[in-house]
């Protein structure tokens, strides 16, 4: 109702003031739209990725494990990286999941849409995922921006005895520069990357900035599925 009244008043003002600059009127309407609560403009689901059940127990994570054929898998951490796709017979409802516990080096997993960047600059753009880190491993988000730079966030998922679904907005995360070869934070003079441009993101993924414990019930990170909510931006 308020928006309708504002529109009527604006139109009447134009008739009463024929010399009024139409550009000013358009700018006023745009400003009103931009001031709308972000909850009224929630980004859509950009992608969801779970993982196919592996044909054998604990094979290496590869493109063939991707449930969504329109997405590309990216692995970081050097030639010795050993991230696997796992499913157990017990418990019966245990899903297939990405597991880092066997990797002898730091690792990172990222996902890209070959046809689109994603705009994550909205205050309510977010990640939603189902995870189960073990020991002291802390799972974190990573991003590759359109300019080729990499970021790793301070948001973490810690130990849980069972699968847990959580979500967080990108606006709530602080970022540091990320080294995709060694999968560690990069030394920079600035330290924190203030106000990074998240309007064109090429890849979204995760890491715990450490190697696995070597197997078994020791340290490692598990990811059942991941959802990213943001606006698609076609790649030119």
Task: Provide the terminal-to-terminal Cα distance of the chain, rounded to the nearest Å.
Answer: 40
Mean pLDDT of 201-221: 89
Mean pLDDT of 156-170: 97
Greater model confidence, 16 or 124:
124
Percent of the chain past pLDDT 70, that is, above it, reads 82
Mean pLDDT of 66-89: 94
Tell me the pLDDT of the chain averaged across its residues.
87
Contact indicator for 203, 178 with CB cutoff of 8 Å: no
Q: Select from 154, 141, 136 the least CA-distant residue to 111.
A: 141
Mean pLDDT of 63-87: 96
Q: How many CB atoms lie within 10 A of CB 157?
A: 22
Token pair recorded at residue 27:
């700018």
- The pLDDT value recorded for residue 189 is 67
Query: Does the pLDDT at position 100 exceed 50?
Result: yes
Convert the pLDDT of each residue in 30-69 to its tens digit.
Answer: 455 456 666 778 999 999 999 999 998 899 999 999 999 9
pLDDT range class, residue 75, cuts 50, 70, 90: very high
pLDDT range class, residue 92, cuts 50, 70, 90: confident
- The pLDDT value recorded for residue 41 is 86
Query: Does the pLDDT at position 115 exceed 70?
Result: yes
Mean pLDDT of 141-153: 98
Query: Does the pLDDT at position 5 exceed 80?
Result: no
- The pLDDT value recorded for residue 204 is 99
pLDDT range class, residue 176, cuts 50, 70, 90: very high
pLDDT range class, residue 184, cuts 50, 70, 90: very high
pLDDT range class, residue 2, cuts 50, 70, 90: very low
Asked which of 15-29, 85-99, 205-219 is least confident by mean pLDDT, the reply is 15-29
Cis peptide before 230 (omega within 30 of 0): no
- The pLDDT value recorded for residue 22 is 42
Contact indicator for 124, 43 with CB cutoff of 8 Å: yes
Query: Does the pLDDT at position 129 exceed 70?
Result: yes
d(CA 233, CA 201): 9
């Amino acid at each position: 109702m308020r928006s309708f009244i504002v529109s009527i008043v604006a139109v009447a003002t134009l008739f009463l003031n024929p010399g009024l600059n139409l550009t000013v009127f358009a700018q006023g309407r745009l400003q009103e739209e931009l001031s709308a609560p972000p909850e009224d403009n929630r980004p859509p689901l950009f992608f969801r990725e779970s993982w196919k059940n592996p044909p054998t127990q604990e094979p290496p994570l590869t493109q063939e494990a991707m449930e969504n054929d329109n997405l590309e898998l990216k692995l970081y951490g050097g030639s010795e990286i050993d991230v696997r796709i796992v499913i157990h017979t017990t418990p019966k409802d245990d899903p297939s999941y990405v597991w880092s516990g066997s990797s002898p080096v730091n690792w990172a997993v990222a996902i890209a849409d070959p046809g689109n960047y994603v705009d994550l600059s909205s205050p309510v753009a977010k990640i939603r995922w189902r995870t189960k880190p073990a020991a002291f491993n802390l799972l974190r988000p990573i991003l590759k921006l359109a300019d080729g730079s990499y970021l790793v966030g301070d948001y973490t998922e810690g130990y849980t005895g069972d699968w847990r679904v959580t979500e967080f907005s990108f606006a709530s995360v602080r970022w540091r520069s990320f080294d995709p070869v060694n999968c560690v934070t990069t030394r920079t003079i600035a330290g924190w990357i203030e106000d990074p441009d998240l309007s064109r993101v090429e890849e979204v993924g995760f890491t715990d900035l450490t190697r696995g414990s070597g197997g078994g019930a020791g340290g490692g990170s598990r990811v059942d599925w991941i959802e990213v909510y943001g606006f698609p931006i076609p790649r030119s």
